[in-house]
Amino acid sequence: MATFISTEHEGAVALVTIDNPPLNALSSALVQELQAELGRLDGDDATRAIVLRGAGERAFVAGADIKEFPALRESGGGEGGAARGIHSLGHRMDAARTPVVAAIKGFCLGGGLELAMCCDVRICADNAMFGQPEVKLGLIPGGGGTQRLPRLVGVGRANLLNLGGEFIDAATAYDWGLVEKVVPLDDLIPAATAVAATFAARSPHAVAVLRELSLTTRDLSLEEGLLREADGFRRCLLSEDGQEGVAAFVEKREPHFTGR
């Protein structure tokens, strides 16, 4: 029975809500439940895109559940404990066929920012605040903040957040490339759902190949990346969705994609 996660559907878009008052802290149980739900949705052919949001008015996710840290320390750190849980969740999201859009309002800090960075696209409200404040506790980001963040905003800007522990606002996050769009708070869910619906209308097979290339070629040479791209194009061209898309264009009709 769901404790922290609820899901509703708008057509082919699943809206997944994280609900752990007051600020949706990422407890280990919540992370496991979220990973299971995202895995279930990824295996559902009727779900072609996901919007991930936080319940309440104050936060997307304000970080890991610090109340769990003393027990973790007593166990010797548990090989990273909560951090490894977020890593596992991130790996599951990376391997998924289904794109995830983060709808961010209020605080998006620590593990919450690390979770948001695992999503394909980040849409935020104009009241959003972002940060990796772990250094203020004598800790470091452990769920991807030292790895995913520099890849998104560059090493220098990542250092500003990681070494200082201070927050940045929505406008700065957009300027840095940490989020793709900033909207008024009341427009957040409609805007994120509209982006997800656009993804959902495309070929699930092509979307999966695009996500695969985006995630697996970023550290390759241009030559190797182009070879991987050419192979991805070939796979799409030979797929049923590729055949349907070309036929629909020639016949001047909307395509009917099946994901095959």
Catalytic residues: 114, 134
The single residue listed with the structure tokens 């849980």 is 85
**Residue 104 CA from chain centroid, whole number:** 11
Residue 60 DSSP symbol: E
Q: Residue 66 carries which side chain, given as an amino acid letter?
A: I
Distance between CA atoms of 122 and 44, rounded to whole angstroms?
23
Q: What is the DSSP string of 121-148?
A: EEEEETT-EEE-GGGGGT----SSTTTH
Distance between CA atoms of 157 and 201, rounded to whole angstroms?
35
Cβ atoms 7, 15 nearer than 8 A: yes
Cβ atoms 49, 197 nearer than 8 A: yes
Q: Residue 216 carries which side chain, given as an amino acid letter?
A: T
Whether the ω angle into residue 22 lies within 30 degrees of 0, i.e. cis, is yes
Distance between CA atoms of 225 and 147, rounded to whole angstroms?
21
Neighbouring CB atoms inside 10 A of 138's CB total: 6
Distance between CA atoms of 239 and 77, rounded to whole angstroms?
47
